[in-house]
Amino acid sequence: EAGVTQFPSHSVIEKGQTVTLRCDPISGHDNLYWYRRVMGKEIKFLLHFVKESKQDESGMPNNRFLAERTGGTYSTLKVQPAELEDSGVYFCASSGPTGLANYGYTFGSGTRLTVV
Amino acid sequence: QKEVEQNSGPLSVPEGAIASLNCTYSDRGSQSFFWYRQYSGKSPELIMSIYSNGDKEDGRFTAQLNKASQYVSLLIRDSQPSDSATYLCAVKGGYQKVTFGIGTKLQVIP
């Protein structure tokens, strides 16, 4: 079974530019999550998709961040325009059926974003 | 108060010893509890999950949960240098959202 795939693994962009991160979850996983880890801080929740619908986007920092999951398969997270404080590692995770309390996540390898 | 509290460490233990990692959480409605291991530069990997009070054992790992005290722990028996990593405590509330602690860095000294 293929794991959660994220692309790119690293991205260095200038302040004000746009970056799009992609996540391919495990096939059949309806739940897809985006998290971010800023250096020295906890991994923070950004949002949760169930299939193509946004279940919870309470962690999105501001309207410069836009997440989509068209067709309920892969997801993209766009940052436009990027700011210095957006630097960090962006993790995508997926999990199986909602409602099973013990379902942990399978994480992708992350995208390390550096805004200069 | 942070939602999930962990001591960031580092916690150093000699090879073969028991490593004890602790975590407290603030939301009494939390339902499921997880321990993830993260090697430097890698993604978190789920190693244990627990949702009932008491102990759950899996190989050298034992997760302990005390909901009354809002406390979760992970014991690693016969610690090996390959166990050196950051261990993340994670707590799931009622809407599938998982909240992570900052992680405890474990160093197993040969």
First vs last C-alpha separation in chain A = 37
Is it the case that residue B17 has pLDDT exceeding 90? yes
For B71: left if phi > 0, alpha if psi spans -120 to 50, otherwise beta; the answer is beta
pLDDT tens per residue, range A28-75: 888 999 999 998 899 999 999 999 999 999 999 999 999 999 888 999
Tokens (6 digits) for A84: 């210095």
Burial of B97 (C-beta count, 10 Å sphere; 0-12/13-18/19+): middle
Per-residue pLDDT at A1: 60
> Which amino acid is located at B17 in the chain?
A
Q: Cα separation of B19 and B13, whole Å?
A: 6
Closest CA to A66 of A49, A41, A43, A89: A49
* A56 touches B at CB < 8 Å: yes
Per-residue pLDDT at A51: 92
Per-residue pLDDT at A103: 66
Per-residue pLDDT at B95: 65
Residues in chain B closer than 8 A to A104 (CB atoms): 34, 36, 46, 49, 90, 98
When the pLDDT of each residue in chain A is averaged and rounded to a whole number, the result is 91
Per-residue pLDDT at B51: 87
Per-residue pLDDT at B106: 98
Tokens (6 digits) for B55: 């102990």
Per-residue pLDDT at B13: 97
| Chain A interface disruption, residue of B32, B91, B98, most A CBs within 10 A | B98
Q: What percent of chain A has a predicted confidence (pLDDT) above 70?
A: 94
Task: Decide if B34 and A104 are in contact by the 8 Å CB cutoff.
Answer: yes
Is it the case that residue B54 has pLDDT exceeding 80? yes
pLDDT tens per residue, range B60-105: 999 999 999 999 999 999 999 999 999 999 998 766 688 999 999 9
Task: Decide if A104 and B95 are in contact by the 8 Å CB cutoff.
Answer: no
Closest CA to A112 of A7, A17, A3, A40: A7
Per-residue pLDDT at A104: 76
